[in-house]
Structure 1
């Protein structure tokens, strides 16, 4: 009995000590919520697929990940790791693959398997040509253009620009001041129309163009100006070729005469200036010896072009496997990127570094598609960045 009383007294004493120690502990402090800008900074470092998953967590996260400042920050982060975008037709469907654009100097490239991005449903986006990637968006060059964001897998179809059965060539441009995308179409009856994206219902309006012209194969958008090669057309018009300059913001045209062969040439962004790059023989094959680069220095009062010739190294002819290469563009590191024109084995991408005078060849394989879609025309697009903005 006394033993049990002693045990009870000890337990009572212990309980009092526990209560006393608990009462002396400081009250619990609730931490403040993480600021939105910290959340946005963290999300900007995630892969695109993880961003998509995070949008499904809560309404708050979904709202944060739709903000314009998050989209702009993600584009800024993504721009330091640009990608090559490959697209071709397979069984009537346009398929898109991508891979990192910058080369790793410590890595050998025997064969690269690009990442599968997405595909259009059969019958959509089946045109043979595609506009260059601008801030992660691409546009098909068809009578009914398709705008696509390969990062999100979304796409939208634009209405036909003309009511007549005229063929039209679309060009995708971006206005950095208004932060809007616009599509310019040039039809074969020399009528130009423009449409602004993201303003609700997509409509076309006619824009004045003083010189009738036929749009040609290459274009580039630099600092809000869309440049493309064209041929002068119409009665009473002096024949010849020119570079058409379309200011995306003001929707006005300017024209630059070019007195050079344009076969095999490409318009490029050379350190923020317009450049025309062309091979010495008009075509690119193992016998090509050099590339000529003309850069627009000033087009306000007088058109001036600088002229530089880059001679290929002696081992160039051993690096090339095909005679059907074309100029895909130029990277910010001063690398001319050449690509095979059709899906043949081996499909290759070649980097010619004009600074170091080196040539690196990369063999690309698309897996089983290589054998099931032989001789499909492949477009290699440079400077593609990941854009997480959704098409609403």
Structure 2
């Protein structure tokens, strides 16, 4: 027990000392509940988990929606970079502070990576962009009684260590399924959209919902526009966007409203057809859908690349896009597009880590580039990098 407390933060030690004489709820009542919530909401996620073990009263306070929403609000004010690192059948999660563009002073800096926890997986197929603190991972898993791998979707919370294996979506189609992870901020529901294809075009669409109560439901939804998904999806303000092509080979953006579960296809007209190029990456630029591609016409920038272009949607229905070209000296950046920070910096990071491990921040307004060395993280086979990650300590209920 002593060795466990040595690793607890100073603020958490202070709280534990207040309860060193007794752990009864009567003594806890001398500390106002609002003060307990105010103090604990400023602690790291691991300390929150320990504080929930102090007493029954503390446990009830720290699982209450008022506390978890307070913690999420504080975390949202200081989002982090999330690294999902794959090696030896495990996905290990690390976070690092997300620099503030306004306080940038040096083109080369360093930041420490904080380890959270790892989850076991057989064969990671894909890791989707985090939604409100949760991460969806698609895994090729050997299930009990089977000889071949089956596709399994699992929702993980790096802040609490919880994970939920989603039920398998069954279909009469024998072809593969394309899936997307979305979040409805109004109903606070996480959803996985899966579509099964015939001759590369979607013919059956299913939605799996994980609600705030932990209830899982799967249902078929109608889509009157058979289409072929051409990219990963990105969810912005409750709308899931992904590049797609119709049966008539018309390219555009498919919009899926996560709350109403309805589809809408928007054809992309010239001169913005480059925004749906197969190698572009969809990003969230200050709340607006945007598409970015390197001067090589790829989704990454290498040592000899000297430019990238970004299209930002001003009005998708009216086909109003703004186009931005950025040029820089060769050899400054080496990485894949990971997203755009709240401050408006485009982030690039290697998928196959080396030592030292660098993340690059491109300020789109100041036309400057920073290289940040991420310390305390290495030896992994592959790294997925995500921007604007928030920590959510709400416990997932499963039924």
In the superposition, the TM-score normalised over structure 2's length comes to 0.79
Q: CA deviation at 1:346?
A: 4.2
Residue 288 (structure 1) aligned with residue 305 (structure 2): yes
Which residue of 28, 37, 41 maps to 1:40?
Answer: 37
Which of 278-287 and 69-78 deviates more? 278-287
Q: CA deviation at 1:99?
A: 0.9
Aligned to 1:80: 77
Cα contact 1:328–1:338 (8 A) shared by 2 = yes
Aligned to 2:7: none
Q: CA deviation at 1:202?
A: 2.1
Higher alpha-carbon Rg: 1
- Cα distance in 2 for residues equivalent to 1:355 and 1:200: 42
Q: Deviations over 1:282-324 (max 9, x none)?
A: 132233333322222224xx3323223232333xx2323x4xx
Question: What secondary structure, in the 3-state scheme, does the structure 1 residue paired with 2:256 have?
Answer: strand
- Cα distance in 2 for residues equivalent to 1:43 and 1:366: 26
Aligned to 2:382: 377
Change in CA separation of 1:263 and 1:211 when aligned onto 2, cut-off 3 Å: same
Q: CA deviation at 1:343?
A: 2.4
Aligned to 1:133: 130
Taking the TM superposition and a 5 Å limit, the aligned residue runs for 1:193-212 are 193-198=206-211, 199-212=213-226
Taking the TM superposition and a 5 Å limit, the aligned residue runs for 1:232-381 are 232=246, 237-258=247-268, 259-260=273-274, 262-283=277-298, 284-299=301-316, 302-314=317-329, 317-320=330-333, 322=334, 325-364=335-374, 367=377, 369-370=378-379, 373=380, 376-381=381-386
Q: Deviations over 1:185-244 (max 9, x none)?
A: 123342211111135542311111112223333322111111122233xxxx21043221
- Cα distance in 2 for residues equivalent to 1:201 and 1:178: 14
Change in CA separation of 1:31 and 1:148 when aligned onto 2, cut-off 3 Å: closer
Question: What secondary structure, in the 3-state scheme, does the structure 2 residue paired with 1:318 have?
Answer: coil
Which residue of 375, 391, 396 maps to 1:391?
Answer: 396
Cα contact 1:139–1:171 (8 A) shared by 2 = no
Q: Deviations over 1:248-289 (max 9, x none)?
A: 111111112232252431212222221122223313223333
Cα contact 1:82–1:102 (8 A) shared by 2 = no
Change in CA separation of 1:274 and 1:319 when aligned onto 2, cut-off 3 Å: same
Q: CA deviation at 1:35?
A: 4.2
- Cα distance in 2 for residues equivalent to 1:250 and 1:31: 45
Q: Deviations over 1:19-69 (max 9, x none)?
A: xxxxxxxxxxx9985543333222211111111111111111111111112
Cα contact 2:171–2:196 (8 A) shared by 1 = no
- Gaps in structure 1 of 5+ consecutive residues: 1-29
The structure that is strand-richer by fraction is 2
- Cα distance in 2 for residues equivalent to 1:119 and 1:215: 31
In the superposition, the TM-score normalised over structure 1's length comes to 0.80
Change in CA separation of 1:108 and 1:281 when aligned onto 2, cut-off 3 Å: closer
Cα contact 1:144–1:161 (8 A) shared by 2 = no
Cα contact 2:313–2:322 (8 A) shared by 1 = no
Residue 62 (structure 1) aligned with residue 59 (structure 2): yes
Q: CA deviation at 1:129?
A: 1.6
Which of 271-280 and 281-290 deviates more? 281-290
Cα contact 1:81–1:102 (8 A) shared by 2 = no
